[in-house]
Structure 1
Amino acid sequence: MRADPTMIAGVSRDRIAEFHVREARQFVRARRASQAWADGGAGDWLGGVPMHWMADWPSPFAPVVSPAARKRQIDRLIAAFDAVVGALCKDAPDE
């Protein structure tokens, strides 16, 4: 039995293309600041992305996080890490 060239894993190529277009539009609508930055400030980067492998992503441009948002994310990660370590080491002696 020959594979149907119009299908990928049982899904039509047209449907996959429509899905990609719809998701790309949603990505752009949700990340206007990232798009503006990519349009104006990413020219110095190879392929317009900070790491060359990011050019392989299907998104229209790389998402950008502001320093303030990055700090909040890092603070949350540190708090989560502290909570996990604290839970794992609750019986550990203090040094």
Structure 2
Amino acid sequence: MKRSKHVPEEYRDYFQHEDNIEEIEETISHDNAFAEDTQKLYSLIKDLCERGEKVEFVACWAGTENIAPEIELYQRTTSNDLMIDFSSGRDATLKITFEK
């Protein structure tokens, strides 16, 4: 049986919830997958807007799909970087409309 290596103290600030190296590797893998998926979403939104499409993006928790958005934002996609600030609607139903 392989023993798990504990997280060195110098990394504790970065990995506060992981107890061993294996859990750190799993967290990093998950975070990389999340970053790739987020980049794909941003690229899709920007590509659609470049073609003149208006994109409506709705974020909500499961079971709240039929509730009207509590926060509505409008964003133009004129810069090279598309920034979506989800912090204001972390627990709310959020609707963002994107246009070029």
Higher alpha-carbon Rg: 1
TM-score under structure 2 length normalisation: 0.29
Instruction: Decide which structure has greater strand share.
Output: 2
TM-score under structure 1 length normalisation: 0.30
